Amino acid sequence: MIKTTGLIAGVFAVGFSTSSLATTMKQEPPMGAMREGEVVLVDDGSCPAGQIKRVVGGNHTKVGGTKQIVRTSSCVPR
């Protein structure tokens, strides 16, 4: 039981630290340039002070992908 709890805690720690490993860019990559699920942070001034845009890549057929997963973006704390 203790080993399972430690494993679950480790998985959560990796998941939460993933956004800190995201690449920071000055402008959003063009459509079709990001892999599905890839995360980049974009410092283009479009978010309020103290926040940065977080973009998650999709895989939509309209930009050459194979699925109906669209790119998403949101403002997150720095």
Beta strands in the chain (DSSP E): 23-25, 39-42, 51-56, 59-60, 68-69, 72-77
Q: Quote the pLDDT of residue 20.
A: 58
The mean of the pLDDT values for the chain is 81
The yes-or-no verdict on residue 17 having pLDDT over 50 is no
Q: How confident is the model at residue 58 (pLDDT cuts 50, 70, 90)?
A: very high
* Contact indicator for 22, 78 with CB cutoff of 8 Å: no
The yes-or-no verdict on residue 10 having pLDDT over 70 is no
Sorted by where each begins, the domain ranges of the chain are 22-77
Which of 36, 44, 40, 47 minimizes the C-alpha distance to 20?
A: 40
Q: In terms of pTM, does the model score above 0.75?
A: no
Q: pLDDT (tens digit, 9 = 90+) per residue, 35-46? A: 999 999 999 999
